């Protein structure tokens, strides 16, 4: 892997304060704050319409905010020039440009946009497309095309890499291979911002998880601490007098002992006993549910749907 040769001029890779973006009467982003350290991998999670896509597109320079402060690698993306773009990589959700070129030709072509790119053949190998290097892009399967999108995003040896749903269409083996690639980029010092609907992917890759609901950050933390200690406490389930019961507790072993003393059957078993430790997915769903309850719906402007985050395409925003 090639380590980025760009110098770091700020203590934070990304700093966002009080970000706002509206479409008509709909507030897609409503006072969002975000900080990302250099070398950190951050997963931004949220349901459709939460504001995460709009936020990331502002960070990439494809959209302009209505209000707030945005600094990405020390620069306001809305006014960034070519030197700034040379330092970032973007893997969009979908692209179909130059479909008549071969995989190798496309990666080499994109490498020409950067002043210090990675070796194109190394990149093709890294994303698992060496066997398809001579195939035209239009002939690739969905998963193979997604790998090509990733190759185009990393060939510039970016200091900061945005990954938007990068493993959509990947089979399980390909996903694990891609995860190793992301880990190797992080090992080289690349800062990674990941949006994904796969909670296991966020848990496997992210140093920190940021949950966005209703245009704001609802919670953030490591994959194992998100939601705080209370949200991570085990839940003990059992059956008593024919009714299902449960209790969230920091002392599951002690509670089971108490239940055993009073409820155990002749064979020593406690009816319906099971202990569940909340996963990242459980915590995320609770946070999203709470965010939906707390947010108040707003009327949509004509021709727009209030729950649609990606209200115009990235290509149009470009």
pLDDT of 304 above 90: no
| Model pLDDT, residue 165 | 86
Q: Could you give the CA distance from residue 254 to residue 259 in angstroms, rounded to a whole number?
A: 9
Among 95, 207, 203, CA closest to 147: 95
Confidence of residue 128 (pLDDT cuts 50, 70, 90): confident
Q: What per-residue confidence (pLDDT) applies to 147? A: 86
Q: How many CB atoms lie within 10 A of CB 275?
A: 14
Q: Cα(85)–Cα(89) distance, rounded to whole angstroms?
A: 8
Q: Is the pLDDT of residue 218 over 90?
A: yes
Q: Is 25 helix (H, G, I), strand (E, B) or coil?
A: coil
Are the C-beta atoms of residues 6 and 190 closer than 8 Å to each other?
Answer: no
pLDDT level of residue 97 (50, 70, 90 thresholds): low
All structural domains of the chain with their residue ranges:
38-63+81-226+286-296, 234-277
- At the second CATH level, the architecture of 38-63+81-226+286-296 is 3-Layer(aba) Sandwich (3.40)
Measured CA angle at 225 (ends 60, 259), to 5 deg = 150
Task: Provide φ and ψ at 211, rounded to 5°.
Answer: -100, 125
Give the pLDDT score at 293. 67
Rounded Cα gap, residues 44 and 284, in angstroms: 11
**Interatomic CA distance for residues 4 and 191, integer angstroms:** 10
> Which tens digits make up the pLDDT trace of 135-157?
999 999 888 888 898 899 999 99
Under DSSP, the state recorded for 74 is T
pTM above 0.85, yes or no: no
pLDDT above 70: residue 10: no
pLDDT band at 316 (very low <50, low <70, confident <90, very high): very low
């Amino acid at each position: 892997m090639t380590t980025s040769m760009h110098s770091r001029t700020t203590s934070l890779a990304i700093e966002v304060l009080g970000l706002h973006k509206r479409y008509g009467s709909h507030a897609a982003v409503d006072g969002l704050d975000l900080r990302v350290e250099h070398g950190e991998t951050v997963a931004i999670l949220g349901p459709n319409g939460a504001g995460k896509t709009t936020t990331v597109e502002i960070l990439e320079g494809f959209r302009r905010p209505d209000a707030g402060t945005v600094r990405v690698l020390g620069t306001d993306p809305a006014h960034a020039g070519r030197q700034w773009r040379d330092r970032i990589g973007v893997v969009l959700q979908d692209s179909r440009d130059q479909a008549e070129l071969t995989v190798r030709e496309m990666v080499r072509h994109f490498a020409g946009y950067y002043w210090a790119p990675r070796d194109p053949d190394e990149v093709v190998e890294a994303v698992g497309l060496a066997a398809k290097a001579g195939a035209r892009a239009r002939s690739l399967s969905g998963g193979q095309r997604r790998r090509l999108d990733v190759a185009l995003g990393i060939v510039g040896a970016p200091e900061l890499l945005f990954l938007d749903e990068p493993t959509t269409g990947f089979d399980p083996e390909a996903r694990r291979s891609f995860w190793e690639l992301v880990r190797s980029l992080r090992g080289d010092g690349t800062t990674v911002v990941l949006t994904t609907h796969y909670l296991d992917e966020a848990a496997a890759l992210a140093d920190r998880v940021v949950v966005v609901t209703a245009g704001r950050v609802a919670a953030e933390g490591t994959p194992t601490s998100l939601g705080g200690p209370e949200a991570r406490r085990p839940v003990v389930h059992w059956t008593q007098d024919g009714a299902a019961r449960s209790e969230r507790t920091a002392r599951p072993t002690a509670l089971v002992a108490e239940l055993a003393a009073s409820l155990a059957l002749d064979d020593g078993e406690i009816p319906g006993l099971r202990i569940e430790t909340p996963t990242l997915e459980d915590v995320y769903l609770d946070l999203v549910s709470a965010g939906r309850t707390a947010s108040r719906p707003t009327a949509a402007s004509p021709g727009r749907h209030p729950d649609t985050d990606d209200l115009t395409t990235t290509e149009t925003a470009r």
